Amino acid sequence: MATYKEIKGTDITVVSSDPSNPVTGEVWYNTTTQQLKGYQQVLGNAWSTGGNLNTARHNLKGAGTQTAGLAFGGGHTVVTALTEQYDGSSWTEVADLNTARSSLGGDGTQTSALAFGGQPVTAVTESWNGSSWTEVADLNTARRQLAQAGDDNTASLAFGGETPGSAQVTNTENWNGSSWTEVNDLNTAKNVMAGTGSNTSALAIGGTSASALTESWNGTSWFEVNDLNTGRANAAASGTTSSALAFGGQAPPVVANTESWNGSLWTETNDLNTARYSLGGAGTATTALAFGGFIPPNSTATEEWNANIAVGAWVTGGNMNTARQNLGGAGTQTAALAFAGSEPAKSAKTESYNGTAWAEVNDMNTASSGLSAAGVINTAVLAFGGQVPALSAKTESWNGYVWTEVNDLNTAKSLAAGAGTNTAALSFGGDGPAPSNITLTETWNGTSWTEVNDMNTARRSLAGSGVTNTAALAFGGTGPTFSALTESWNGTSWSEVNDLNVARRNLAGVGTNTLALAFAGNTPSATGLTESWDGTNWINVGDLNTTRVSLAGAGTNTAALGFGGEALTAATEEWYGDGKLTETFTTS
């Protein structure tokens, strides 16, 4: 039998304490804890932001790969003939179609593509050679909202769609490089389907009335296979009949759902960052491209899909001693502070986290819930506002041992957000005396609070991030509907920036104004959804293991902590943004 070293190339080391800087794949036995441990890289799937199209549009078509894509046709204010080429980072306008149209069929590569049919209802077919479009032989049946599969401009399949009389059709036609030939029909007449594959092996996915039906083409005939998990129309797809991806569409409502096909079953995987329908798609099941579409309004957004890559992950940490919700939190992933909250009575309890376990320390002077906090270490924290049970303006400072009452906020409030440190803090938004959702912002200089310029949008139950009182981020909340709004503070005023992908309230936030993490909350149902902010956009990353609301957070967007929450949980989770973490295999 082969030894571990022969298989992996390294021995299992025996140590009395865990290595401070392990390498990926390293395994060791800790004699002190009597545990076998290893350092691993978490792999997963993710959509990331790519370069925007030059022209926002929907009902367009795509061809090519993630790094060499083609987008053509579609509609914005009118149908368009625009063609754009993608190089893996940006889109460039190239030669237009000869016939402007939307809701067309199209496939191929960046240098050899085919466009056919479309709206206004047409049979016109055009061939792309990498520099220009040329009209070739028409489809036998003019139609719009059809689907397609094909490798290049010499081999393609057109199927389904809608004819001038608004009749959905089953017609399938095969292109051999010079003409279209009618072949065996789909089993079910549909339009607004997604299609992918080749002219000898294709998939017809979803379609009319948010259908979940999937049909597979074997080069001769269509046969039904397993349905999508989420039925939808106007989705996009990429890949082959043995490995495909379906993304976006109308369920209704507009969805970001992404599903992976393994040749027999669809499995839900990580969603698009931007929900949309009538979008374009290209690439494979492991490296795909999504672009354009209707949100509403028309979109220029491009997203790149990569499978089996390094991704961030949440892992279970040590439970708090007291379960609670609407608590405050501050510090880092390995040195955090949890305080106050509802258990369900208002609490003054404080606990300190050392990266493994929580320990009870001295209580706050005033029991409260729904308060805000500032502090980048667990030995210097500021807590302010909340309910006691009335709205409170109280502020307390923590020095690592005890809480001390200091000067109050100017306005009593709860469910506000906080940022900064115990000597330079910011309080913003929240539930005030009247109206209930407020825009009020106050800054703390280590001694007193001063009112400064208000937020643009009043809301409560929002989250914030920032390590100073001159640079902060506010996101989510309710005011009065669930909000995805994000605002950035520059020390003087708030500016609206790109929204969260999913509107929610009662979420947690950590990090800075350029590198933040938003997690959990109500959407309105409880969620574990996590989004990472890169200074420009929010990107969906790995979800919490336990869905919850009204929790607290600490740390950064690469090393965070989430703890507590509704319904009265003591659970703690640790976020590793690079997906590199220590795993315990056995305990003696």
For residues 118 and 88, state if they share a domain.
Answer: yes
Which tokens sit at 549? 């609301």
Distance CA 183, CA 196 (A): 17
Three-class secondary structure of residue 346 per DSSP: strand
- The pLDDT tens digits for 513-526 are 999 999 999 998 99
Distance CA 482, CA 194 (A): 31
Average pLDDT over residues 146-170: 95
For residues 288 and 432, state if they share a domain.
Answer: no
The DSSP-derived string for 117-163 is: --BTTB--EEEE-SS-EEEEPPPSS-BBS-EEEEEETTEEEEE--B-
For residues 297 and 357, state if they share a domain.
Answer: no
* pLDDT score of 586: 74
Residue 545 in contact with residue 533, Cβ under 8 Å?
Answer: no
Position 252 in a domain? yes
| Confidence at 581, pLDDT banded by 50, 70, 90 | confident
For residues 82 and 185, state if they share a domain.
Answer: yes
Q: Which domain holds residue 132?
A: 46-310
Average pLDDT over residues 279-300: 97
Q: What does pLDDT average to over the chain?
A: 95
The DSSP-derived string for 519-588 is: EEEESSSEEEEEEEE-SS-EEEEPPPSS-BBS-EEEE-SSEEEEE--BTT---EEEEETT-EEEEEEEE-
Strands (E), 480-524: 486-489, 494-497, 508-511, 516-522
Position 214 in a domain? yes
- The pLDDT tens digits for 438-473 are 999 999 999 999 999 999 999 999 999 999 999 999
Four-point Cα dihedral 497, 499, 505, 507, nearest 10:
-80
Average pLDDT over residues 309-329: 94
* pLDDT score of 104: 98
Among candidate residues 310, 337, 359, the one where a domain is terminated = 310
How much is the pTM?
0.82
Position 26 in a domain? yes
For residues 85 and 34, state if they share a domain.
Answer: no
Residue in this structure with the two tokens 């990472």, named with its chain if needed: 532
Position 318 in a domain? no
Query: Where is 4: in which H helix or E strand?
Result: helix 4-8
| Confidence at 7, pLDDT banded by 50, 70, 90 | low
Among candidate residues 275, 310, 345, the one where a domain is terminated = 310
Nearest to 362 by CA among 379, 345, 342, 344: 379
Average pLDDT over residues 323-341: 97
pLDDT at 433 over 90: no
Angle at 76 between CA 71 and CA 79, to 5 degrees: 80
pLDDT at 228 over 70: yes
For residue 422, give the CATH number of its domain.
2.120.10.80
Name the H helices within 255-395: none
Average pLDDT over residues 324-328: 97
* pLDDT score of 40: 83
Which tokens sit at 31? 């004699």
Which tokens sit at 125? 């077919």
Identify how many contiguous H helices and E strands the chain contains and give both numbers. Answer: 1, 52
**Per-residue CA distances from 91 to 77, 294, 373 (Å):** 20, 18, 43
Strands (E), 161-247: 172-175, 180-183, 194-197, 202-205, 214-217, 222-225, 236-239, 244-247
For residues 402 and 255, state if they share a domain.
Answer: no
Nearest to 510 by CA among 552, 549, 482, 550: 552
- Is the N-terminal amide bond of 435 cis, ω within 30° of 0? yes
Which tokens sit at 388? 């006691």
pLDDT at 510 over 70: yes
Residue 108 in contact with residue 64, Cβ under 8 Å?
Answer: yes
Position 229 in a domain? yes
- The pLDDT tens digits for 185-200 are 999 999 999 999 999 9
Q: Which residues contact 384 (CB under 8 A, 6 or more apart)?
A: 371, 372, 373, 374, 393, 394, 395, 396, 409, 418, 425, 427, 444
Position 364 in a domain? yes
At residue 7, φ and ψ (nearest 5 deg) are -80, -45
**Per-residue CA distances from 265 to 61, 183, 193, 209 (Å):** 26, 26, 18, 21
pLDDT at 264 over 70: yes
Nearest to 61 by CA among 141, 130, 181, 146: 146
For residues 402 and 468, state if they share a domain.
Answer: yes
pLDDT at 8 over 80: no
* pLDDT score of 442: 98
For residues 496 and 567, state if they share a domain.
Answer: yes
pLDDT at 42 over 70: yes
Q: How many Cα atoms sit within 13 Å of 497 on the Cβ side?
A: 22
- Is the N-terminal amide bond of 164 cis, ω within 30° of 0? no
At residue 254, φ and ψ (nearest 5 deg) are -65, 135
Average pLDDT over residues 560-565: 97
**Per-residue CA distances from 20 to 17, 23, 209 (Å):** 9, 10, 56
For residues 63 and 99, state if they share a domain.
Answer: yes
pLDDT at 588 over 70: no
User: How many independent structural domains does the chain possess?
Assistant: 3
Nearest to 209 by CA among 228, 227, 232: 232
The DSSP-derived string for 55-116 is: S--BS-EEEE-SSSEEEE--BSSSB---EEEE-SS-EEEEPPPSS--BS-EEEE-SSSEEEE
pLDDT at 77 over 90: no
* pLDDT score of 20: 86
Residue 512 in contact with residue 471, Cβ under 8 Å?
Answer: yes
pLDDT at 587 over 70: no
Average pLDDT over residues 416-439: 93
For residues 306 and 415, state if they share a domain.
Answer: no
Q: Which residues contact 379 (CB under 8 A, 6 or more apart)?
A: 335, 398, 399, 400
Residue 159 in contact with residue 172, Cβ under 8 Å?
Answer: yes
- The pLDDT tens digits for 341-391 are 999 999 999 999 999 999 999 999 999 999 999 999 999 999 999 999 899
Task: Count CB atoms within 10 A of the CB of residue 588.
Answer: 9
Among candidate residues 310, 343, 360, the one where a domain is terminated = 310
Residue 473 in contact with residue 463, Cβ under 8 Å?
Answer: no
Position 317 in a domain? no
Which tokens sit at 398? 């923590």
For residues 374 and 305, state if they share a domain.
Answer: no
Distance CA 176, CA 391 (A): 73
Residue 74 in contact with residue 60, Cβ under 8 Å?
Answer: yes
Position 316 in a domain? no
For residues 34 and 52, state if they share a domain.
Answer: no
* pLDDT score of 6: 65
* pLDDT score of 38: 87
Question: Rounded to an integer, what is the distance from CA 112 to the centroid of its chain?
Answer: 33
